[in-house]
Amino acid sequence: MPVQNDENSRPIEIAGRTLTPTPVFDTYWRFTAARQAIYLARLQGLGEPWSDDPILRDYRFTNVYRAADRVSQYLIQRVIYDSDVSDDPENVVFRVLLFKLFNRIPTWRTLEHELGGIEWRTFNFSRYCHVLDAAAADGPIYSAAYLMPPPKLGERSKHHNHLRLLEQIMRDGFPRLVASSKTLTGIYERLIKYPSVGRFLGFQYTVDLNYTPLMAACENQFVVAGPGACDGVRKCFGSEASGIEPEVIRYMVEHQDLHFERLGLEFDGLFGRSLHLIDCQNLFCEVDKYARVAHPEAAGISGRKRIKQKFRPSREQLAAVFPPRWGLVSTPAASAPAGQMPLWA
């Protein structure tokens, strides 16, 4: 897939700087088109192999669109758009933040199984601690992605302190702010004031809250680049892009059609939805990983040389359900409700 193209050496002006793209820049676009093709093939129920690219076949990469990824899909379907709680701002915000603190589906399922309905009005610190203590004794309760350092709130364990943080956020009137906010910025600026919620996590949580029916802000308002994305930007543009990563990500959003066309790539987006800032941010992280094998000579920031996770197809049903206000209608199931596709094994 990563083929040298003379076009990618032409300088690009971003944020007042002249950047010279490396070969990884074209790989970014090829990776995006190829990874999205895999996702669509799996949704349509097509069998393996879904790609002739050995790197994409052998290693695990997230989906091109953040909202289409497995954990985000679970969040949207099971945590947010639950018919019993989706119209209550306190419950919606409580459920989203509780889920994201651990970001692990089995942990959420354990809480549901042991506690029944997950609602703010029935939250009991001691009961939640007891369930999580037992779960932690049997194995991990946190995902390896988006780990938040434990805030120092006087409790004896990491997850106890995280629950205290959640309690603090809820009692601070945060759900009312979410329900009344017209922009991502106000939510983000409040979140990063809480202990241990840094800029990157604050941005990620803001995007998650924007999937809910409480908000309808445009995802292209701003972006915060995570460490992996900064690595990917470095591999695509060199050290000259250091410090302007958000501007580089915005360039990718604004010029995506130009570069897909330039490289002769078919990319129709997510049922008509173009790449947004959160997606291009995530793609830089994934291309950083891909380049470790495809472009081992490309220097990032972290110095990582291997892709750790191998790809193993999930046995769970693959779904495509998105916030209804996006109005996404899929071609394979034109009769399905807007934003929703049936499940395929």
* pLDDT of 271 higher than 80: yes
* pLDDT of 70 higher than 50: yes
**Digit-coded pLDDT (tens) for 75-129:** 999 999 986 777 899 999 999 999 999 999 999 999 999 998 899 999 999 999 9
pLDDT of residue 181: 94
- pTM for this structure? 0.90
What does the pLDDT read at residue 331?
42
Between 300 and 1, residue with greater pLDDT: 300
pLDDT at 316: 62
In this structure, are residues 196 and 168 in contact, taking their beta carbons and an 8 Å threshold? no
3-state secondary structure labels for all residues of 277-294: HHHHHHHHHHHHHHHHHH
Specify burial of residue 314 (Cβ count, 10 A radius: 0-12, 13-18, 19+).
exposed
* Nearest-angstrom CA–CA distance, 84 and 92: 10
318 DSSP 8-state letter: E
Q: What is the mean pLDDT of the chain?
A: 89
pLDDT reported for residue 340? 43
Among the residues of the chain, which ranges form H helices? 23-43, 54-58, 70-74, 89-102, 105-115, 125-138, 158-171, 174-180, 184-191, 199-210, 227-237, 245-254, 256-262, 277-294
Q: How far apart are CA 323 and CA 270, in angstroms?
A: 13
* pLDDT tens-digit map of 165-181: 999 999 999 999 999 99
The closest alpha carbon to 166, from 99, 108, 75, belongs to: 99
Q: Under a CB-based contact definition with an 8 Å cutoff, are residues 31 and 286 in contact?
A: yes
Which of 70, 2, 55 shows the shortest CA–CA distance to 265?
2
Residue with tokens 């916030």: 323
The token duo for 192 is: 């990063």
Bigger pLDDT: 326 or 2?
Answer: 326
Q: State the average pLDDT over residues 285-290.
A: 96
